[in-house]
Structure 1
Amino acid sequence: MDRIRLDKWLWAARFYKTRSLAAQEIGKGRVQVNGQPAKPAREVSANDLVSIRKEDPPIEVRVCGVSGARGPAPVARLLYEETPESIQARERAAELRRLAPEPGQDLSAGRPTKRDRRLIDRLRGK
């Protein structure tokens, strides 16, 4: 077995929990093979470059092996290797998320009280 359907490979490599979920994501255009949009029945083989948009920076992996059966996670990890550019992009995004200020940090006192709301309305001219 040197070629396999894309949706089946994504399921076997544990990128998606079910094959139908993998097919849906492929249909939405969130998976590309060698830089081109793919269909669920597209066959992948070793050395194909697969780009998966599950998170903010897409994950780019090179297919190392094919398997039609979903096995344990350590075995599934052997089916692909992530590209160095993808690893750097994910690390950069993680660092930016870590350094970003907390969105609710400005609200030190919590929700505005009724009195605060009236003052805000007065400032706005209502």
Structure 2
Amino acid sequence: MRIDKYLWCVRYFKTRSLATTACKKGHVRVNGAAVKPSREVYPTDKIEVRKDQVNRLLTVLDIPPNRVGAKLVDIYRVDTTPKENYDHLDLLKHAKDHYRKQGTGRPTKKDRREIDEYLEDNFDRDESNA
């Protein structure tokens, strides 16, 4: 089976064309070598897929006849991705929360609420002191 079709069948990519594009860009490696989308995959091959800024490692157990359900994916592959790679993904998610530097651009809805809350608290204090 072709590598792009295999990655689509075991649900690493939503469409086969996305898997093909990832292969063409060099985000997919089989046994340490970058591969073209037409590269054949065999049991015991070690595949490294870079997706969402995380290097996912998997070992091919068997070749599926066609796209399989999410519950059956583990029959055809073993995910050997280290926990550190997923921790890196969590850090990226937290980093996106603080993407905008203070004072640049229009305030977000959350910023607006925080500003309103701050002003209400200060306004209430000023009235009580007067």
Q: Is the shorter-chain TM-score for this pair beyond 0.5, marking a shared fold?
A: yes
- CA-atom RMSD in angstroms: 2.6
After TM superposition, give the deviation of residue 92 of structure 1 in Å: 3.5
Long gaps (5+) in structure 1? 112-126
For residues 44-87 of structure 1, give each alpha carbon's deviation from its aligned partner in whole angstroms, at most 9, with x where no partner exists.
122211111111121111112211301211112332222142x3
1:8 aligns with 2:5: yes
| Match in the other structure for 1:103 | 99
| Match in the other structure for 2:63 | 66
1:59–1:106 Cα change, 3 Å: same
| Match in the other structure for 2:112 | none
Q: Which structure is richer in relative contact order (CA contacts within 8 A, separation 6 or more)?
A: 1
1:11–1:103 Cα change, 3 Å: closer
Q: Within 1, Cα distance between the matches of 2:97 and 2:73?
A: 36
1:90 aligns with 2:86: yes
Contact (CA 8 Å) 1:9, 1:68: kept in 2 or not? Answer: no
Contact (CA 8 Å) 2:61, 2:75: kept in 1 or not? Answer: yes
* TM norm structure 2: 0.67
**Number of residue-to-residue matches in the alignment:** 107
Long gaps (5+) in structure 2? 108-130
